[in-house]
Structure 1
């Protein structure tokens, strides 16, 4: 089955102080870690960036036939802007949306989430009462609704989700496949990056 994956890699990385897509982890960049983990079930990678595409070529040269680089419509205008920027390039009816600050995506968990989309617009994990709108699945029609919301001047992911019929996945279910819930652990500060590196040898 065809599956496009949007990879959001165009943030400013203000809190980290350097581009998270290029941070090293397990002798690879964050971006490369993510691409390798989801390569087995994604047909194409729609990578949304704000830098020159040539900076990423070395990381994707063996995946070149599957990669489409996309510039944000409005640079540094948040993740909804990145999703909207990728919409014209989507070919599949089901879309995985990921973010480059979560390099320890659990493939088995994502595969389990994908089959729960059914007649919903999206499958959204909820961890400790907090919605996790990234590293999960949407229909193409749901992403089209993101375009409509963004045109209305609304820029938050929650403004988009408020207009979707989505299925919520609880923390207990996620722990079955991702015990430490690392799929939704954002590494966006020097402190969180240090924490990740300290666990590096224990993470598969």
Structure 2
């Protein structure tokens, strides 16, 4: 089993309010995401600086060990608290998950520390698998003031899942759609 980490510590500046609490198809984004990863993750963590909005979420709440470090800090926290060797990290503003893609990623993990899809030439680090072997490299990146998740990738073994590979599991790329503005949320209704 692997640990699921829903990273919910974002400031939602472009959205204007906590987007993880927005309702889509009758459920809050945070609940929808926690439920979707529960199929292959146990436990499921909600990692955030402020846990108070999430007391009613059916997941284990974990406060960021180093506050205000963004998603890199959230991944660090999840790795430290995980009872499992692997953590699946997912952003709270990515409402879709195609299980076949996660299964593909799990099949690719042997011999690697990170399994991360590449979409349009960019890593998708908020929909990725991280082995606890990454913990020292993530901690060092945080000590150096890094904010970008990919900043530690050069120090670990990364399997970058090519777009032509992952599109066999998720042809539409739904797993990588994210919600940054209220307009983005409106667009989801048409998907």
Q: After superposition, where does 1:37-56 map in structure 2 within 5 Å? A: 37-53=36-52, 55-56=53-54
> How far, CA to CA, are the matches of 1:162 and 1:11 in structure 2?
25
Alignment of 1:193 with 2:188, yes or no, is: no
Tell me whether 1:136 sits opposite 2:140 in the alignment.
no
Q: Does 1:165 align with 2:161?
A: no
Q: Is the 8 A contact 2:101 2:170 kept in 1?
A: yes
In the TM superposition, what is the alpha-carbon distance from 1:126 to its structure 2 partner? 0.9
Question: Could you tell me how far apart the structure 2 residues matched to 1:52 and 1:36 are?
Answer: 18
- 2:17 aligned residue: 18
Larger helix proportion of the pair: 1
Tell me the equivalent position of 2:56: 58
| Structure 1, unpaired ranges of 5+ | 61-66, 200-204
Q: Do the aligned partners of 1:117 and 1:138 also contact (CA within 8 Å) in 2?
A: no
| SS in structure 1 at match of 2:55 | helix
SS in 2 for 1:177: coil
Aligned to 1:202: none
Task: Indicate the larger mover: 20-29 or 74-83.
Answer: 74-83
State the match for 1:181 in structure 2: 173
Q: Report if the CA contact (8 A) 1:104-1:183 is conserved.
A: yes
1:63 corresponds to = none
Does the CA contact (< 8 Å) of 1:99 and 1:134 recur in 2? yes
Q: What SS does the aligned partner of 2:129 have?
A: strand
Relative distance call for 1:33 and 1:27 in structure 2 (3 A) is same
TM-score by length of structure 2 reads 0.92
What does 1:35-114 correspond to in 2, within 5 Å?
A: 35-53=34-52, 55-60=53-58, 67-114=59-106
The CA distance in 1 between the partners of 2:183 and 2:106, in whole Å, is: 32
Would you say the 8 A contact 1:126–1:132 is kept in 2?
yes
Partner of 1:154: 146
For 1:143 and 1:103, locate their aligned partners in 2 and report how far apart those are by CA, in whole Å.
Answer: 27
Q: What CA distance in whole angstroms lies between the structure 2 residues aligned with 1:138 and 1:5? A: 10
Residues in 1 aligned to 2:49 and 2:145: alpha-carbon distance in whole angstroms: 21
Tell me how far apart the structure 1 counterparts of residues 96 and 12 of structure 2 sit (CA, whole Å).
18
Question: Contact between 1:46 and 1:89, CA under 8 Å: does it hold in 2?
Answer: no
Indicate the SS of the match to 2:184: helix
- Once the 2 structures are TM-superposed, how far is the Cα of residue 74 of structure 1 from its aligned partner? 4.2
Q: Quote the Cα distance in structure 1 between the aligned partners of 2:50 and 2:138.
A: 23
